[in-house]
Structure formats: C-alpha cells, structure tokens
C-alpha cells in the first residue's frame, strides 16, 4: 500500500497550502516570476474566454483565495474550497505550469518545488484570522520590508485598503476580525 500524504478535501473547508523551492532554493528570482505565478493562479480562479480556450482551467468559483504571500523561496495560500474540485487540481495546474515556465526561462532541469505541497485544514475562525496574519507577516519577519503592507507579492496591502487586489476575498477574514489592528 502506498502511504503518500493524501489530502482530505471538502466544499466549504479552508486550507493553508504552502510549498518551497527544491533544496530551499529560490523559486521567484524577479518580478516577472512572481507575476507569472499570480497570473496562473488568477487564470484558474477566474477563467475568462481566452483562458478557457487555451489552458482548460478549473470551473469558475471552485475556490476563493483568502490571502497569499509569495516569498523568494516559498509561497503561502489560504484557500476556501467552494465546490467538489479538490485543492490538488488547483495546485497541480498552477505549480506544473509555473515549473515549466521556470525550467524553460532559467534552463533548469528537475524539480522546482520541494516535494508535494503541504496542506493544513483550517477549521477554527480564530486560527483562520491568525493564519492570515501569519501569512502577511512573512516578508516583515524575513527582513524584506519594514511594513508588511509594503510587500508587493502578498495580499496584505489589499486587506488594509492600500492596494487593489482582484484575487482575494477579504470579506471572509474581515467578518471574523474585529479588533482593527491588522499589521
């Protein structure tokens, strides 16, 4: 029997999904790399006619992205599964496409990501809020910025109203977070 880490899935469930570069290497070298990953995520979360014909994305509204942060050598996504489509479908599409892009661009051979992505079920409102805060604090803790909202590759600025973001559904967190202190 194969004892791989099979993920559990369910509509209405929340998941913290994350992975890092193989050998802890950087997976995002420049802005173009970050942008490409975001583009593939967006195309699968919100497919349009052009995307439907080229990429065969997942059915619209399969997931809601609550918050995210792309760091140079890893990423964090906080997702809600809205349908019977499991997170493996979304992550396989996004990470495979990104790996192909990365390997071609950098003439790299082999795995871009270290092992299979990790997934933790989030079944408590207070943990959901804490996790979104944790995700957004990554760049500050790593010393990349002094203020988390200044980091370009996270949804933090969107949460505090400093930038637009068409990917995230901040109402899910906002409805659970009432203290007003986010950073």
The pLDDT value given to residue 52: 58
Percent over 90 (pLDDT), the chain: 57
The residues, any chain, with a CB within 8 Å of residue 59's CB and separated by 6 or more, are 83, 85
CA dihedral in degrees (56, 59, 62, 67; nearest 10)? 50
What is the pLDDT, as a whole number, of residue 2? 32
Q: Which residues lie closer than 8 Å to 119 by C-beta, 6 or more apart?
A: 7, 15, 16, 17, 87
Three-class secondary structure assignment of 78-116 = EEEECCCCCHHHHHHHHHHHHHHHHHHHCCCCCCCECCC
Residues facing 20 on adjacent strands? 74
What the block records as the tokens of 3 is 């004892």
Whether residue 40 contacts residue 93, with contact meaning beta carbons closer than 8 Å, is answered with yes
> CA–CA separation, 178 vs 141, rounded Å?
24
Q: What pLDDT was estimated at residue 164? A: 66
pTM for this entry: 0.85
* Residue 122 reports pLDDT greater than 70: yes
Dihedral class, residue 38 (left if φ above 0, else alpha if ψ from -120 to 50, else beta): alpha
pLDDT band at 158 (very low <50, low <70, confident <90, very high): confident
What was the pLDDT predicted at 182? 45
Q: Report how far Cα 177 is from the mean position of its chain's Cα atoms.
A: 21
Q: How far apart are CA 140 and CA 12, in angstroms?
A: 31
Quick check: 62 and 90 in contact, CB under 8 A? yes
State the average pLDDT over residues 76-93.
93
């Amino acid at each position: 029997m194969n004892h791989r880490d099979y993920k559990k899935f369910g509509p209405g469930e929340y998941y913290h999904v994350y992975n890092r570069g193989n050998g802890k290497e950087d997976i995002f070298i420049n802005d173009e790399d970050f942008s490409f990953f975001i583009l593939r995520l967006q195309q699968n979360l919100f497919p349009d006619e052009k995307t439907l014909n080229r990429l065969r994305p997942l059915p619209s509204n399969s997931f809601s992205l609550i918050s995210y942060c792309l760091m140079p050598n890893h990423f964090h996504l906080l997702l809600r599964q809205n349908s019977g489509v499991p997170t493996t479908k979304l992550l396989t599409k996004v990470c495979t496409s990104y790996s192909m892009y990365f390997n071609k661009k950098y003439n790299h051979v082999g795995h871009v990501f270290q092992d299979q992505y990790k997934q933790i079920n989030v079944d408590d409102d207070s943990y959901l809020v804490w996790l979104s805060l944790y995700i957004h604090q990554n760049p500050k803790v790593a010393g990349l910025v002094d203020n988390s909202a200044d980091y370009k590759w996270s949804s933090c600025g969107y949460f505090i109203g400093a930038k637009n973001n068409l990917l995230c559904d901040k109402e899910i967190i906002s409805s659970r977070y009432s203290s007003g202190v986010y950073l």
